[in-house]
Amino acid sequence: MRKEEIISKLPYSKPFLFVEEISHIDENGVEGNFTFDENLDFYKGHFKDFPVTPGVILTEVMAQIGVVCLGIFLLNNTFSENNSIALTSTNVEFLKPIFPNEKVKVFSEKIYFRFGKLKCKVMMKNEKGEVVCTGIIAGMMVSPPQPSPQGREPKLD
């Protein structure tokens, strides 16, 4: 699967798409980047007169590149718009701030992928090559619920 195809299959759009480019991807991991445009809405209030990228957004960037892109790649042609992706756990340590107009690079290494659950060791670096945040992120690839057969509704007592 080509890198551009993976990005096109992401279930996000602007302003919540945080993947600009995938520079490397294989069965063991992924690398990609994103540039934080100064006009992104969250900068208007985080913080007043001193905009800083919120940690939850940094986590989302790491999750989109490091888990979702890799998950789509690992599922290859079995991932479709009918699938959903659910974050199941995060453990992230924040070390440096990211300011408007900074470009970051995300590095992800697969820990395991089984039964639809992908767990990765993920790290983000700034343009100087300094580690901004690092952690473990996991998510599940979920198929839509199947309708129950007619007349076979579960009986609750």
Q: Which residues are catalytic?
A: 46
Which residues, including other chains, have CB under 8 Å from residue 36's CB and lie 6 or more apart?
53, 98, 99, 100, 101, 102, 103, 104
Rounded-to-integer distance, Cα 116 and Cα 97, Å:
33
Block residue for tokens 């599940």: 140
Find tokens 């007043």 and name the residue.
48
